[in-house]
Amino acid sequence: MRSDKIKRGLERAGNRALIYATGITQGDLSKPFIGICTSFTDLIPGHIGMRRLERFIERGVAAGGGVPFIFGVPGICDGIAMGHTGMKYSLPSRELIADMIETIIRAHSLDGLVCLTNCDKITPGMAMAIARLNIPSIVVTAGPMMSGRYKNKRLSLVRDTFEAVGRFKKGEITQNELNCLEQEACPGAGSCQGLYTANSMACIVEAMGMSLPGSATALAVSAKKERLAYESGQTAVNLVRRNILPRSIMREEAVMNAVIIDMALGGSSNTVLHLKAIAHELGLELPLYEFDRVSRQTPHIVNLRPGGDYFMEDLDAAGGIPAVMKRLKDVLNDVDTVTGKRISKIARESVIYDDDVIRDFSRPYHKEGGMAILYGNLAPQGAVVKQSAVDKKVLKFKGLARVFESEESAMSAILSSKIHKGDVIVIRYEGPRGGPGMREMLSPTSSVVGMGLSDEVALVTDGRFSGGTKGPCIGHISPEAAIGGPIAIVQNGDTISIDIPRRKLELKISEKAIKERLSKWRPRKPSIDSGYLKRYAEVVSQASDGAIFTK
């Protein structure tokens, strides 16, 4: 066993003394040492229920014949960090999490790993670490939140709080109604109720075969989730005994399964960044255009919020990701999973309980998948849009640029009613380097929706969007403004053309004018010039490469 490095041999007497100090017995030295990496924190609703899940994982590890060791990594709640400087730290935390797990596992020579995770950057950070370490591992996602309730209507975070800000400014709801929505939209533990980034990543990890079937959708407060946690602990020990390594599961075919299922679900656009980062850790190529190729071939068959009206609880009741696999069985690659079953067997054994939540190919919600990759003189290296959340009336959009140098300045203009029909809001210097940290723009996009402008204005940025964003919102524009990408030289009043069906994003000025403006462009002084974000900006790649470290 890998842990023999710290517990076998005369020269390890001191090591063993310290291990005994943790309370284990002499007999435990012959058992696999299993790390339980938890992102429990009181700060994140998606993680506050993890203490109980940790207990069930521990029980499972012990029942399987292993010795459990819990250690922690930090987490950021994107919703709480949204709209201010805190969001600059969200994407960069992904790299910190991967590095911390690598450090603990290798320093203590653990035999196996259970990752207990849930929210936006934590799940991909853990998946990156698993890919890098390549020791027997399994992922337990802590589960979605139940829908809220107000006036007998189901509520979700984005539609009923972030978008409610615009509705309040427009005079559609009162202060009392806004207060009630704030208190009722999020009724307890779990990741936000729609197919936002946290739940998108949970589905992707299960699609890659690294979680037990049903793990992605089982609600955070359910006994079903606790049973899955227990079984995952047992499975981790079994993986160690059989020496089943992540790279034998997370093969190129499994990564492509994740892309296929992501497109069928209409997941968050952030999954592009995270899947590319995971693929990089696996030593695999995952070009940006592959997402678009798969999207053109994969119908959108599950329509959860923000684009649709269903919730994660509905997808779970309909059969979860195994039922989605059943729909997609003819296009998925038949690969192994941590269960020992192949994808084909999981799909064959699953049941689809609701034909509207998980539609068949004859009547998809959209003929193409959830995302589209756009190119053009404004985004030579690509940009990303969640096309399943764009009304068909604005799949093509042409308007005049309203340029803002930060998210805050754009938000101020939106709430001051200074944005009008036909405007294309341009938010720049929010990319991986320029932000630094590539902030999400949920506050501006939600306010636009809440004020009734979602089909009348567009938004383009070198930053990114929450999985809760809807409308013609184009993110991940590469190259970003901070390194002299064309978005840096857009001027107020320029015409911008968006054509999602043709995958085009164009600044309607001449090539000569673009070259002249770029020749006069000079880099801006970094907005943050100290600490971790300074170091992050110096080594992070462009969004088109997954915002990974280049050094």
C-alpha distances (whole Å) from 54 to each of 21, 107, 232, 426 are: 21, 22, 11, 44
Query: How far, in whole angstroms, is CA 504 from its chain's centroid?
Result: 25
Give the sign of the dihedral formed by CA 212, CA 218, CA 220, CA 222.
negative
> Are 162 and 138 a contacting pair, CB within 8 Å?
no
- Per residue, the 3-state secondary structure of 443-503, as one string, reads HHHHHHHHCCCCCCCEEEECCECCCCCCCCEEEEEECCHHHCCHHHHCCCCCEEEEECCCC
Neighbours of 492 (CB within 10 A): 10
Query: What's residue 466's pLDDT?
Result: 83
> Are 40 and 54 a contacting pair, CB within 8 Å?
yes
- Which DSSP state fits 352? -
Phi, psi of 49 (to 5 degrees): -90, 5
Instruction: Estimate the share of the chain in helix, then strand, then coil, as percent rounded to the nearest 5.
Output: 45, 15, 40
Query: What's residue 26's pLDDT?
Result: 96
Query: What's residue 251's pLDDT?
Result: 98
Neighbours of 392 (CB within 10 A): 11
Query: What's residue 305's pLDDT?
Result: 93
| pTM of the shown model | 0.96
Where do the domains of the chain lie, and which CATH numbers do they carry? 31-146+188-349 (no CATH), 150-184 (no CATH), 373-545 (3.50.30.80)
Q: Where are the alpha helices (DSSP H) in 269-397?
A: 270-281, 288-297, 312-317, 320-327, 343-349
Who's near 4: CB < 8 A, 6+ residues apart?
109
- Between β-strands 137-141 and 423-427, what pairing exists: parallel, antiparallel or unpaired? unpaired
Q: What are the structure tokens assigned to 548, written together?
A: 């990974």
- Decide if 454 is catalytic: no
Distance CA 415, CA 412 (A): 5
> Are 504 and 374 a contacting pair, CB within 8 Å?
yes
**Which residue is catalytic, options 211, 446, 466, 497?**
466
> Are 368 and 300 a contacting pair, CB within 8 Å?
yes
Query: What's residue 50's pLDDT?
Result: 98
Along the 551 residues of the chain, how does pLDDT read in single tens digits?
Answer: 999 999 999 999 999 999 999 999 999 999 999 999 999 999 999 999 999 999 999 999 999 999 999 999 999 999 999 989 999 999 999 999 999 999 999 999 999 999 999 999 999 999 999 999 999 999 999 999 999 999 999 999 999 999 898 899 889 999 999 999 999 999 999 999 999 999 999 999 999 999 999 999 999 999 999 999 999 999 999 999 999 999 999 999 999 999 999 999 999 999 999 999 999 999 999 999 999 999 999 999 999 998 899 999 999 999 999 999 999 999 999 999 999 999 999 999 999 999 999 999 999 999 999 999 999 999 999 999 999 999 999 999 999 999 999 999 999 999 899 999 999 999 999 999 999 999 998 889 888 888 888 889 999 999 998 877 888 999 999 999 999 999 999 999 999 999 999 999 999 999 999 999 999 999 998 889 899 999 999 999 999 999 999 97
Query: What's residue 80's pLDDT?
Result: 95
SS3 of 423, please? strand
